[in-house]
């Protein structure tokens, strides 16, 4: 595991949320069309997903909405076959998700790595979504929700939900293991639901913030960034050869497709919400 730059107390790290922080819009919505074509979701579910994404984009999602979406997602994904989901996502991941990556986010990731900091993706998305995304982004670490799988099918339940306070708790646990000095570290997010994540570090940065997070950031004097330029990932990371990208995307894709629609329902991440 790569090590970050040492401080008196530990190493430094930069923690990034996924949707609307690294990814320009919700990856689940983009992927949901492929799920519809494969018969994993109905036309009605696809339309509801699109509507939810639009509402999240306009109004954001509070904790109550997120919890309702999580419950709906559980009903939606229960019983899905891992192998079918894996095949669908493997076929469309690079084409659909890669063009949605913010150039500004990639530059920040590059800068933090150049400074010797560990880069960690932190998302409430299932780990089978976050892990391949993190590998594509050349992140060192990742924190994600952990879905439950029984006999090759998704149960619709979670063993760990990386949301709200749990994100901060997971960051602290990771810091204890990796020797990270959180007070010398950075965190980036767009959502007020990630306030615990931002408060866990010494240098919080808000990116394309919702109204509540912007208010908090202004009151506390936190740095605010506006990301506006999505660009294909391959164009920004030419050192990633196809032979290296394919395994990264394939690893952990069992729940990628399931999680994608899950997020469109569960995270209300543009409707509803990102790695």
- Is 19 catalytic? The answer is yes
Question: Of the listed 9, 19, 140, 159, which one is catalytic?
Answer: 19
Helix (H, G, I), strand (E, B) or coil at 49: helix
C-alpha distances in angstroms, 86 versus 110, 132, 170, 173, 274?
Answer: 29, 12, 27, 30, 19
Catalytic one of 9, 17, 210, 218:
17
Give exposure, 132-152, as e/b (b: 16+ Cβ within 10 Å).
bbbbbbbbbbbbbbebebeee
Are the beta carbons of 28 and 259 closer than 8 angstroms? yes
Q: Which two tokens stand for residue 209?
A: 């913030």
For the CA atoms of the chain, what is the radius of gyration?
A: 17
Active site residues: 17, 19
């Amino acid at each position: 595991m790569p090590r970050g730059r040492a401080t008196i107390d530990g190493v430094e790290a930069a923690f990034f949320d996924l949707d609307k922080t690294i990814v320009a819009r919700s990856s689940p919505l983009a992927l949901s069309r492929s799920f519809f074509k494969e018969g994993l979701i109905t036309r009605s579910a696809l339309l509801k997903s699109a509507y939810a994404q639009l509402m999240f984009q306009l109004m954001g999602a509070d904790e109550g909405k997120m919890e309702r979406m999580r419950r709906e997602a559980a009903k939606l994904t229960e019983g899905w076959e891992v192998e079918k989901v894996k095949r669908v996502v493997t076929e469309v991941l690079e084409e659909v998700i890669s063009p949605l990556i913010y150039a500004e986010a990639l530059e920040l990731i590059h800068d933090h790595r150049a400074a010797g900091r560990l880069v960690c993706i932190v998302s409430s998305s299932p780990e089978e979504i976050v892990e391949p995304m993190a590998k594509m982004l050349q992140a060192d670490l990742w924190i994600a929700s952990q879905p439950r799988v029984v006999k090759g099918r998704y149960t619709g339940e979670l063993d760990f939900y990386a949301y709200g306070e749990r994100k901060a708790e997971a960051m602290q646990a990771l810091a204890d293991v990796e020797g990270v000095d959180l007070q010398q570290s950075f965190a980036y997010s767009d959502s007020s639901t990630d306030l615990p994540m931002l408060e866990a570090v010494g240098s919080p940065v808000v990116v394309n913030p919702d109204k509540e997070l912007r208010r908090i950031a202004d009151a506390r004097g936190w740095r605010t960034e506006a990301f506006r330029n999505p660009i294909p990932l391959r164009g920004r990371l030419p050192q990633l050869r196809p032979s290296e990208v394919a395994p990264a995307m394939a690893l952990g894709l069992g729940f990628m497709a399931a999680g994608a629609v899950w997020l469109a329902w569960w995270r209300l991440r543009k409707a509803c919400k990102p790695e």
